[in-house]
Chain A
Amino acid sequence: MKLRTLAGGLIAATLVAGPALADKLDDIIASGTLRCAVVLDFPPMGSRDENNEPIGFDVDYCNDLAKALGVEAEIVETPFPDRIPALVSGRADVGVASTSDTLERARTVGFTIPYFAFTFNVVTREDTGLDTYESLADRTTGSVAGTYEAIRLEGDIEEWDKGGSFRPYQSQADVFLALSQGQIDATTVTSTVASSIVKSGKYEGLKMAGEAPYDIDYVGLIALRNEYGLLNYLNLFVNQQVRTGRYDELYDKWIGGEAPDLTIDRVYY
């Protein structure tokens, strides 16, 4: 019995190991579907329209990528903390999910060159009297767990050490709910989210209170670190999106205005 299980296991192992010679890029082309992990409560990058269909910059970006590969796009909704598990467990092939390219994360996952860049705003309620980033030092703040701005805000609150606190919430919707209810006094979010949420009027009494002085947050597409064939393709794709003007077009469609520069002066990526 044991021997049989062992033999069965070995056969199964070889069967599984066989096709692994083809890399992820091959798998995507062969399967005819590109599965993109996209965060859908992060307008205007990703959200749902009134028919519950995914829309946004990242959704369009994924569709463009699928078209370039000659396959169908499939959007896999992924909350921010679940981006890596989605990739590693094979639920998604590529993360088009505004992922900040920190060196600490790059130890785990593979990043492409930046495909988008964010700046940050402070959002608060009209009755809090907050008007600068530094004035958050003694307030209760919050942001979406695991995002660049959350990590920066939590770090600064800790460093200021003036009695302020930080709460990580699981979604952008929870953060704005908490803010509009008065559970927290302020949050820092990407300028894109800030303008779209304040404009939407979904939450009453919210206003922007200046910029948060963080470095520009360059975000890349993500894939498994060892899938170099795929990462190579993605890099070229990002480059082509800018070259063909599609990047500017999408930026104008979803955010409006002039698209941020994705290159960094004085150094190659």
Chain B
Amino acid sequence: MFNYTFQWRQAFRALPEMLEGALYTMQIAVLSMIIGIAIAVILAVGRNSSSRWLRAPATAWVEVARNTPALFQIYMAHFGLGSFGIYLSPYVALLAGITFNNAGYLCETFRGALRAIPDTQMRAGRSLGMGPAKAFRLIVMPQMFRIAFLPTMNQMVWAILMTSLGVTVGMAIDLTGVTQALNARTFRTFEFFAMAAIIYYLITKAVMLASRLVAWRLFRY
């Protein structure tokens, strides 16, 4: 039977510390999304390219990123690269791992969005005298982002939750790292983890809500 008395007072005193950790969690998630989106656009273009030399590396990236656990990707960024003498700090390793994962998933999201845009859009742009790059940038890409907006925000939520895997590579300052440290010191496991869960929940809810508002404002015809 569950045999435990909850002591919330002690846990609440650690709330500021945990919220500070939550800021780092957000920081990593946002950075990983910004870099991830940039890479994903390049990968998506690569995947749609007719050149094999562009298609192959992009496909390889997507395959590995989507078909291996995020935990493995983060662990490899820290200990895997470490065995080749490349030392990423826990922060950078975590960021690199999640960015790698984000880029893989978002690439496929963007590729799907690109498919939904009729070829005629590109041709219309070209017929107005734009070069292929300019037409892509000004005509196709904005439409792609519009179609992919909500799935992208979904990935953002995923990224926030994935930051919790940082503890496996010695990350101590994000929300899970802080929670784990508090747990080790006091053994008040359930209070701290319950609070961390609620904070994660509120963050992701806020992100979803904000993205719905933004979508509603931006994408009205």
Q: Which residues of A approach B to under 8 Å, CB–CB?
A: 16, 20, 80-81, 83-85, 88-90, 104-105, 107-109, 142, 145-147, 150-151, 166-170, 174, 177-178, 181-183, 224, 226
**Of B1, B177, B189, which one neighbours A85 at CB under 8 angstroms?**
B189
Q: Name 18 extra pairs, CB < 8 A, besides A104-B187, A107-B7.
A: A16-B1, A81-B183, A85-B189, A85-B190, A88-B2, A88-B4, A104-B185, A105-B187, A107-B10, A108-B186, A142-B170, A146-B181, A146-B184, A147-B184, A167-B172, A168-B172, A174-B168, A178-B78
B180 at the interface (CB under 8 A from A): yes
> In the assembled complex, how far is the CB of residue A221 from the closest CB belonging to chain B, in whole angstroms?
14
Residue of B nearest to A105 (CB): B187
Size of the B side of the interface (Cβ < 8 Å), in residues, is: 30
Within the assembled complex, what's the spacing in Å between the Cα atoms of A84 and B186?
Answer: 10
Which residues of B (138-174) have their CB < 8 Å from a CB of A?
Answer: 167-172
**B193 nearest CB neighbor, chain A only:** A85
Query: Shortest Cβ distance from B206 into chain A, in angstroms?
Result: 28
B82 touches A145 (CB 8 A): no
Inter-subunit contact B181/A145 (CB<8 Å):
yes
Assess the A20–B1 pair: CB atoms within 8 A: yes
State how many angstroms separate the Cβ of A223 from the closest Cβ of chain B: 11
Measured in the bound complex, the distance between the Cα atoms of B172 and A151 in whole Å is 12
Q: Which residues of B contact A84 (CB under 8 A)?
A: 183, 187, 189
Q: Which of B66-98 contact A (CB under 8 A)?
A: 78-79, 82-83, 85, 87, 90
Determine whether the beta carbon of B170 is less than 8 Å from that of A151.
no
Q: Which residues of B contact A177 (CB under 8 A)?
A: 79, 82
Whether B184 pairs with A90 at a CB distance below 8 angstroms is no
Q: Are A182 and B82 in contact (CB under 8 A)?
A: yes
Q: Which of A80, A89, A183, A226 contacts B78 (CB 8 A)?
A: A183
Which chain B positions have C-beta within 8 A of A80? 184
Contact check: which of A20, A81, A108 meets B188 at CB < 8 Å?
Answer: A108
Residues 40 to 81 of chain B near chain A (Cβ within 8 Å)? 78-79
Question: CA–CA, A255 to B190, complex, Å?
Answer: 35
Contacts of A224 in B (CB 8 A): 3
Whole-angstrom distance between the alpha carbons of A102 and B57 in the complex?
53
Q: How far is the CA of A81 from the CA of B184 in the complex (A)?
A: 6
Selected contact of A145 from candidates B2, B184, B189, B190, CB within 8 Å:
B184
Please give me the residue from chain A that is nearest to B172 by CB atom. A168
Residues in A with CB closer than 8 Å to B10 are: 107
| 19 residue pairs from A and B, CB less than 8 Å apart | A20-B1, A88-B189, A104-B185, A104-B187, A108-B188, A109-B187, A145-B167, A151-B185, A167-B171, A168-B167, A168-B170, A174-B79, A177-B79, A177-B82, A181-B87, A182-B82, A183-B79, A183-B82, A226-B3
CB distance from B20 to the nearest CB of A (A): 15
A193 to B205, CA, bound (A): 45
A102 to chain B, nearest CB (A): 8
| Alpha-carbon separation in the docked complex, A90 to B1 (Å) | 7
Contact of A182 among B85, B177, B183 (CB under 8 A): B85
Report the Cα distance A116→B87, complex, angstroms.
37
